[in-house]
A and B are shown apart, each in its own frame.
Chain A
Amino acid sequence: MRLITHNMLSCNIKGVTNGFPLRIEAGNVIEKEVDFNPDFIRHMFAKIEWKALVEGARSMGYAELPEDSPDAAVLKSDEPFLKKLHHALLELHLEEGALVCPETGRKFPVNKGIPNMLLHEDEV
């Protein structure tokens, strides 16, 4: 699971109103190189919840992103920044670990890179 996906995932247990972002418990994190596409990263910047990304990256051992969301103007010229964002969003993979609902503490396991977000009968 990449952080781009983590930035979308939300706990959907019945009654949960604040299931985003899921806290990452990192067991094993790996890196896989992906071709850098600045346009895609700019497009993603508009979508992502910055805090969720920063916290997620940090819990996976990557602390290079600034705490506060940078000004959109940075995206035009600051290639080093775009590359950091690219690395965080696309190149880090949570291989083993868990995603934890911020409201209920329910853990969704991540095994072999695959989050299992299925709910139990009494959670739907």
Chain B
Amino acid sequence: MRDIKVKSDSKEFLTSSDEEEEAVQIIESVSIRESSLSVKSTPEIEKKYVHRVYDAIAPHFSSTRFAKWPKVAAFLESLPPGSVILDAGCGNGKYLGLNPSCFFIGCDISHPLIKICSDKGQEVLVADAVNLPYREEFGDAAISIAVLHHLSTENRRKKAIEELVRVVKPGGFVLITVWAAEQEDTSLLTKWTPLSAKYVEEWVGPGSPMNSPRVRNNPFFSLESIPETEVSAKEQKAENSQFIGLESIPESEESTREQKGESIIPETKASIVEQKDENSVEESLEALKKSQQEYFVPWHLPYHRAEVSGASASALASGLAKKDDRKGAVVYNRYYHVFSEGELERLASGVGNAMIVDRFYDKSNWCIVLQKAALNQD
């Protein structure tokens, strides 16, 4: 409650910076709502824009997923014969069995994808990578390939890493790859939808958690009144001001900050900085920075594929998917949190009991190899 009061007080001061302030609020309110749930509880956005989408596109997705990344293959081939390898978020199972001298067990939250694996004779089950139904230390190694970027909060991404470490033996290796914000083909980014504006549109719809009486009566959640177009403009502004270089200002040099604030940070932004305590400024900036990593990435399901799937008809009816007649495809949006440079390492280094032993960038992905601490010999 106290936060809310401070927030509304500061708003009175900040008439000229309302737009940026509100953009920050959108992001903050989303994260506040999420923080009240268990880290293992799946947010609606993942259910709708990850799980349901993969369920609907599974056969087509699978038919396009056969190329194996050489670096993942090299990791798997480096493991000793007889290793038990756990693939958490195995998709269509393209890495299962890649090293024939090892035993693979895959899991994915999408039943249709797991069915595809099972039909190929692979050992698989339906499970959530954030909450693996495995006892500790059974695996000799684990992999998580292109999975973490589908988790919508930092806590959940971290939890997924903790789970991978938990289920491998002491000394065991874990390979994690995620989509990078720094894409080799930058033109791809123009095809993606930055999320925040969409977030608002989708999350204030009927039945969304944002529409509960508790949220409605809370002045902090004042999202419904903001038209989408305005939000887009705000988003852009907020992004721009952040882009100027707020994140690069050293925390300790207060006077430098203010000088810089006058020259490169818009006046209004600087006054926000003064109104808030250090922590909330950090959080707001962090939230803004995060917001640029949240995207909807389209998946084009060709009409001839969509026709055979009942899922597409209901997805179209419910608005989950849209038709694109020019491309002759049903278009689904998939939620992505793309990782900035160093983010995966930072997340993993917060996980106890494991060390980062390798890190690399490969085909627009950030990748790390973790090694779980070995047991004491005595």
Interface residues of A (CB under 8 A from B): 1-2, 4-5, 7-12, 14, 20, 37, 39-40, 43-44, 47, 108, 112-119, 121, 124
Contact = CB atoms under 8 A, between A and B. Distances in A.
Closest 6 CB pairs of A and B: A117-B133, A124-B40, A43-B82, A8-B138, A10-B135, A117-B127
Interface in B93-134: 103, 105, 107, 109, 111, 114-115, 118, 123-128, 131-134
Given A4-B103, A10-B135, A117-B125, A40 B81 contact: yes
Nearest to A8: B138
B84 to A, nearest CB: 7
Contacts of B132: 12
B82 A39 contact: yes
B134 A114 contact: no
B38 interface: yes
Nearest to A43: B82
Contacts of B38: 14, 124
Given A4-B105, A39-B81, A114-B114, 9 more contacts: A1-B123, A4-B103, A8-B135, A8-B139, A12-B131, A44-B84, A47-B138, A115-B126, A119-B40
Contacts of A5: 105, 123, 125
20 contacts: A5-B123, A5-B125, A8-B139, A9-B125, A9-B133, A10-B135, A12-B132, A14-B40, A37-B82, A47-B138, A112-B118, A114-B115, A115-B125, A116-B111, A117-B107, A117-B125, A117-B127, A118-B128, A124-B38, A124-B131
B109 A20 contact: no
A118 B134 contact: no
Contact of A121 (B41, B82, B105, B131): B41
Contacts of A121: 41
Chain B: number of interface residues, binned into ranges? 20 to 34
A116 B109 CA distance: 9
B128 A119 contact: yes
A48 B112 CA distance: 30
B125 A114 contact: yes
A10 B133 contact: yes
Contact of B118 (A8, A11, A44, A114): A114
Contacts of B118: 112-114
Nearest to A90: B103
Contacts of A117: 107, 125-128, 133
Contacts of A14: 38, 40
A2 B133 contact: no
B133 A114 contact: no
B40 A10 contact: no
A124 B132 CA distance: 11
A121 B103 CA distance: 32
A4 B86 CA distance: 12
A39 to B, nearest CB: 6
A1 B124 CA distance: 7
B248 to A, nearest CB: 39
A118 B109 contact: yes
A7 B118 CA distance: 19
Nearest to A48: B138
A112 B117 CA distance: 12
Contacts of A11: 133
Nearest to A122: B41
Interface string B31-51: 000000010110000000000
A37 B84 CA distance: 14
Contacts of B41: 121, 124
